[in-house]
Structure 1
Amino acid sequence: MRVGFIGLGIMGGSMAMRIHKAGFPLIVYNRTKSKTEPFAKLDIPIANTPKEVAEKSDVVIDMVTDAPDVEEVLFGPNGVIQGAYQGLIVIDMSTNSPEYARNFAERLAKYGIEFLDAPVTGGDKGAREGTLTIMVGGKYEIFQRVKPIFEAMGKTIVHAGGVGNGQMLKLLNQTVVGINMLAVAEAIALAKKAGIDMEKLFTVLSTGAANSFTVQYYMPKMMKGDYEPGFRAAHLKKDLKYVLETANKLNVPLPGTALTLQLYNALVAKGLGEKGTHTLIKVYDDLS
């Protein structure tokens, strides 16, 4: 299968490189041309538009920031739809909402184009190492056809059901991720005031019942003051907004998620949205 990859950011660049290393013929596109340089050095074709990606691919993957970006890539001027043909498979690996996924699928189906929503979790580390968890919504037979591509990028691949269910699983994941980060930030904030040694706190949290990916991967960064993103704070804020929109439609109260979103709103208001999600500790530093 010829694979086209659109969006070579923190996650997308590593994911596309894993596909290349797995032996799939690849063509890539990114709005900022400098992000394509590592691929050009490997003689991987660089497209000038998403339209060109579609024309030269059997499967087109997009990994962009939000639903409006997916809209632009798929349906905008020189978008995928302009170069698409019947039988093309489009996979949106960005995070947005079940509602958007179903909308994209319906519109692409009019052109005979298959669609899967397949958001991921695992951060920049998982993208680099090919150990992402991938949640896929859409037709099972299409999922089976492209599963080898997913296996190049991820370790755990879950077919979640119909279109939109991949996004729903991702939003549920982000609910836990956000509240978990909140818990770690609160523990660190209290430990600082109480005079507790951070290394000892890390030992306890990372070996006992409180252990988690957030503790293992992000807490050491928080302790060192390294706030470079594995996943941007502004992106988690966006995801939590979608969680609450979905919960409101279903009349499900999520007070913990609502509080977490407000704290990320504060973080973004401080001008730190492009830093990592673990930069939440700075909000607690201010509050303390």
Structure 2
Amino acid sequence: MRERADTPVIGILGLGIMGSAIANLLAKAGLDLVGFDPDPIQQELAKDMGVSMRPGAEAVVRDAEILLLSLPTHHALNDTVDAVVRVNTSIRALVDLSTLELEHKLTNLTRLNTVGVPFLDCPISGTGEQAKTGDVSVYASGCEEAYQHCRPLLQLFASSLHYLGEFGNGTKMKLVANLLVAIHNIATAEAMLLGERCG
């Protein structure tokens, strides 16, 4: 639970490769963290980092002021929003760092709007190894007031922040970035093949 009004409790749902890297950086920065992951191994790793683990998403939602999501599927996002709606909490922002289908994010934006919880679409660009050192980019979109409130937090685990306006623009930019990476990888493979054939 909150111990000091000026030190918000940060909730993290999803403590896999990216989520655990983010949690570790935030713990090292001295933040008060609560979290949940269904994988017992990830639970233990997060606990060792300094995350106060909870038995489920609802418990995290109850205790957190800002909620960070690093989720594998839109089903997990739906379940998280279900928990937020049920608990009817006073969360100041729900920040989705996952790369998921935009249609599902938009559906949950509507649901969260009905209970007055600001929802930010903030997919991360970078690898798990880069996330460990905070060398990732965040493509943020959604309510600008909520983004400005969360900006100091995001800066603790991202080297580059890009605020892109309307909700969903973050995911769109992430898809563009993914396409550029794919094109680069294909071009590199073709160049290597050409080099081999040329001797």
Q: Shared fold by TM > 0.5? A: yes
* Aligned equivalent of 1:71, options 65, 78, 86: 78
CA distance in 1, matches of 2:74, 2:134: 25
Q: Count matched residues.
A: 192
Aligned partners of 2:92 and 2:146 also within 8 Å: no
AA paired with 2:36? Answer: Y
2:11: which partner in 1? 4
Q: Secondary structure at the match of 1:61?
A: strand
1:135: which partner in 2? 139
AA paired with 1:159? Answer: Y
1:94: which partner in 2? 98
Matches within 5 A, 1:178-193: 178-193=182-197
Deviation at 1:170, TM superposition (A): 0.8
1:229: which partner in 2? none
CA distance in 2, matches of 1:91, 1:84: 17
* Aligned equivalent of 1:54, options 50, 54, 61: 61
Q: Secondary structure at the match of 1:152?
A: coil
CA RMSD of aligned residues (A): 1.7
AA paired with 1:155? Answer: S
AA paired with 1:143? Answer: Y
AA paired with 2:139? Answer: M
Deviation at 1:51, TM superposition (A): 0.6
Gaps of 5+ in 1: 196-288
CA distance in 1, matches of 2:190, 2:58: 47
Kindly tell me: are residues 93 and 42 of structure 1, through their superposed partners in 2, closer, same or farther at Cα, counting changes over 3 Å?
Answer: closer
Cα deviation code 1:10-64 (max 9, x no counterpart): 2111011111122221011111110121222244311111111100100111111
Kindly tell me: are residues 188 and 72 of structure 1, through their superposed partners in 2, closer, same or farther at Cα, counting changes over 3 Å?
Answer: farther
1:271: which partner in 2? none
Q: TM-score, normalised by structure 2?
A: 0.89
Structure 1 position 123 matched with structure 2 position 130: no
Structure 1 position 23 matched with structure 2 position 30: yes
Higher helix content, 1 or 2: 1
Structure 1 position 83 matched with structure 2 position 90: no
CA distance in 2, matches of 1:46, 1:67: 23
Gaps of 5+ in 2: 1-7
Aligned partners of 2:34 and 2:54 also within 8 Å: yes
Q: Secondary structure at the match of 2:89?
A: coil
Cα deviation code 1:167-212 (max 9, x no counterpart): 11111111111111111222233334444xxxxxxxxxxxxxxxxx
Kindly tell me: are residues 180 and 58 of structure 1, through their superposed partners in 2, closer, same or farther at Cα, counting changes over 3 Å?
Answer: same
CA distance in 2, matches of 1:104, 1:157: 23
Higher strand content, 1 or 2: 2
Kindly tell me: are residues 191 and 154 of structure 1, through their superposed partners in 2, closer, same or farther at Cα, counting changes over 3 Å?
Answer: same
Q: Secondary structure at the match of 2:31?
A: coil
Kindly tell me: are residues 42 and 174 of structure 1, through their superposed partners in 2, closer, same or farther at Cα, counting changes over 3 Å?
Answer: closer
AA paired with 1:153? Answer: F
Highest relative contact order (Cα 8 Å, sep 6+), 1 or 2? 2
AA paired with 2:151? Answer: K
**Structure number with bigger Rg:** 1
CA distance in 2, matches of 1:51, 1:100: 20
Deviation at 1:102, TM superposition (A): 2.2
